[in-house]
Amino acid sequence: MKDGFVKVCAATPKIQVADCQFNGLVIKKMIEDCEAQNVKLIVFPELCITGYTCSDLFLQDTLIREAYETLEDIKEFTADKDILAVVGLPIMIDNKLYNIAAVLHHGSILGMVPKSNIPNYSEFYEARHFLKGNDRVHDVNGIPFGTNILFCCKNLPSFVLGLEICEDVWVSIPPSCKHALAGATVIANLSASDEITGKDIYRRQLIQGQSGRLTCAYIYADAGEGESSTDLVFAAHNLIAENGVIVKESRRFHNESIISEIDLGRLVSERRRMSTFEVDLESDLYTKVSFSFELVDTPLTRFYTSTPFVPSKKDERDRRCEEILNIQAMGLKKRLEHTNCQCAVLGISGGLDSTLALLVTVRAFDMLHIPRNKIMSITMPCFGTTDRTYQNAITLAKELGTTLKEIEIKDAVEIHFRDIEQDMDKHDITFENGQARERTQVLMDIANKNNGMVIGTGDMSELALGWATYNGDHMSMYGVNASVPKTLVRYLVLYYAETMEEGELKDVLFDILDTPVSPELLPPKDGKIAQKTEDIVGPYELHDFFLYYIMRFGYEPKKVYRLAKHAFANQYDDATIAKWLCTFYRRFFSQQFKRSCLPDGPKVGSVALSPRGDLRMPSDASAKAWMRQLEEI
């Protein structure tokens, strides 16, 4: 439960219809098994103590009595267990029968929530037996009873549980909507949803969508085998969703428990930044029942991808790449149209970033029906340029039909170094940045000369680390890659290459993909790249992972570190992850001044660093609080 992780379970017992004692034994065994696995919340199906399909047996005193006695037995069973158990049963209140969810914890019934929407159509005739619940909460023998009850963990304030039952989530305005707006972060649904062909697709979409709309975790426990099959079959379609994502799903037609962790920190972070999610913390319409958990470390079992910016499935990845290329191109198209610009100027190095920028520019020019030869591809060899990248840049520019111009900048840089008294044999930051700024000066002046626009090539990962020369490659007139992380740049170029017919353009794109990432500002060794970026600042796949969770959810360093260890368990040891995480935070804070004056560029995903929108951060903010936490790792 540390770092906001809570292990939850949606459980389907194999019951016997109307045999409450038997069902109670099965439920207790499942509670015991889950408690042994550090599950803190277990949700059972609707009317699980009796069975949902008892029909007119619900009108028999014997069944009602047995159900309540079984509830009492299960309650006593939880006395020494640190788990919140939610079970369903029929119960008599003021001579009326209700279909309720009872919440049990440490030998107590914390509350009873009745079903709000009672179906009376087709195969369901619940209205024949049950009265619907209402918002008013009143005391029944010392137990809160009503729909407007929230169960709040005192020592984990981000855990607030609201309940609804089956049909409640299928109506136009489910009770869970009100629960979430009153502060619920977790919704449990006790369900008995019959199975017909195709219904599982809609059910999955419904639960996934509800968790997304409410920015909550949603645990859906469905009835299954054991229910009467007189007219219906129940498939035990259990679901655990979080903020619009299905975290765990059961196999249908197999009674089973599904267990996973929900990330309360993620939900709180999302709600914190959503001004449209207005929680009414002062609402007096809800009764809030407090309880406490023993706070323990929750081992992570759910999957966390090591590439959060890149979909794992190829079809989804291809769809995303096509969409991003269009967003980039449309952004540039608008800027070209607005300025009536007919010429674009790019510095091309034979590397991935400039390749992507050129591909995007070509697409934008095609959209505007401007001839590609109006794109000026400028290659500017200097001290660190290798023959491989030089030849790739030339081939790429020619194959795309752009105008290629080669400008050797060695002499200009040497004159500049002479003017500022820079030793040519001293390969320091001045040696490197002098070349970068000379290249930018050339591009800007060529753009002026041709009434053109310099297209930026730097990507978001470089901006996060400040791996850009201030007023060098840091500057342009429109940065098409400004919100594309390095790990995604590679896949965008790969996608473009895979759509090409066999030929020289396809071959050169694949060779560029195979080239090490480098600014090529230091002299080569034996004709090969001597300066590899990831050897200096660290692996971009790690930095992109850090960037995603720091910017998207505002996680603390210790939580980012924990997730990274989980996601990269078979790739990097703990010390390596900690080293580069420290590097990320140090550079992220110290280099904000570069991001504070970024050129315009299109946002393509949920994370961006524009000072005009997504990251309004002081350039001189202290990183001490973050670094102190890193020192404790």
Q: How many CB atoms lie within 10 A of CB 230?
A: 8
Q: For 343, what's the count of Cα atoms within 13 Å in the CB-facing half-sphere?
A: 14
How far apart are alpha carbons 530 and 385 in whole angstroms? 10
Contact indicator for 86, 39 with CB cutoff of 8 Å: no
* DSSP assignment of 479-507: ETTTT--HHHHHHHHHHHHHTSPSSHHHH
Q: Which amino acid would we find at residue 62?
A: T
Instruction: Give yes or no: 166 in active site.
Output: yes
Query: Catalytic pick from 28, 81, 115, 178?
Result: 115
Nearest to 431 by CA among 525, 301, 516, 521: 521
- Find residue 261's DSSP bridge partners: 7
Look up residue 605 and give its two tokens: 């995903």
User: What 3-state class would DSSP assign to 419?
Assistant: helix
Give the single-character DSSP code of 582.
H
Q: What is the DSSP letter of 461?
A: H
* Nearby residues of 479 by Cβ (< 8 Å), 6 or more positions away: 455, 456, 457, 458, 598, 599, 600, 601
Is there a contact between 556 and 549 (Cβ–Cβ < 8 Å)? no
The closest alpha carbon to 29, from 255, 218, 219, 296, belongs to 255
Catalytic residue chosen out of the listed positions 9, 20, 46, 270: 46
Burial profile 373-400: b = 16 or more Cβ within 10 angstroms, e = fewer: ebbbbbbbbbbbbbebbbebbbbbbebb
The dihedral formed by the CA atoms of 565, 568, 569 and 570, expressed in degrees to the nearest 10: -160
Q: Which of 9, 34, 166, 343 is catalytic?
A: 166
What are the C-alpha distances in Å from 242 to residues 108, 173, 185, 220, 403? 28, 19, 10, 11, 50
* Residue position matching structure tokens 């608008």: 334
Active site residue 152: no
Alpha-carbon distance of 492 to 484, in angstroms, equals 10
Q: Which among 231, 292, 362 has a CA at the least distance from the CA of 106?
A: 292
Helical segments of 92-162, H only: none
- Beta-strand ranges (E) seen in 94-172 are 96-105, 108-114, 120-121, 124-125, 138-140, 143-145, 149-153, 160-165
Q: Read off φ and ψ for residue 536, nearest 5 degrees.
A: -95, -55
What distance in Å separates the CA atoms of residue 362 and residue 150, rounded to the nearest whole number? Answer: 56
At 369, list the tokens: 């029906």
DSSP code of 48?
A: T
**Is 46 tagged catalytic?**
yes
Provide the annotated active-site residues: 46, 115, 166
